[in-house]
Amino acid sequence: MPVDPTFLDMVNYGICYVLNERYGKKECEDIFREVGRICCRRMKERDLIRPKEDPMETLIEIAKFLERMGYMEKNTHK
């Protein structure tokens, strides 16, 4: 049974909130920038996304991945 994205949203919010309270905005920005790098690298390693030359196309590729995982609703941006 898949995990409801609403639950993941709550967990992520809780983690972000506690980190911000403990370490402050600047440290949190650094932490989540690194989290993004790690996630992006893992998605590439597992061939879940294929980055393009155009950064916007890569962003669309990531959005499609999030849609497939059920974490994001269909993106209608063209």
Give the pLDDT confidence of 27-77 residue by residue, as tens digits.
999 999 999 899 889 988 998 888 888 989 988 888 888 888 777 777 655
**pLDDT value at residue 73:** 75
**H or E, element range at 61:** helix 55-68
**The token pair that represents 17 in the structure block:** 């909130």
Write out the residue range of the structural domain in which residue 34 sits.
Answer: 5-68
* Cα separation values, 38 from 12, 50, 58, Å: 16, 15, 16
Position 57 in a domain: yes
Q: What is the tally of structural domains in the chain?
A: 1
- Look at residue 78 and tell me if it is in a domain: no
Phi-psi region of 50 (alpha: psi -120 to 50; beta: other; left: phi over 0): beta
pTM: 0.65
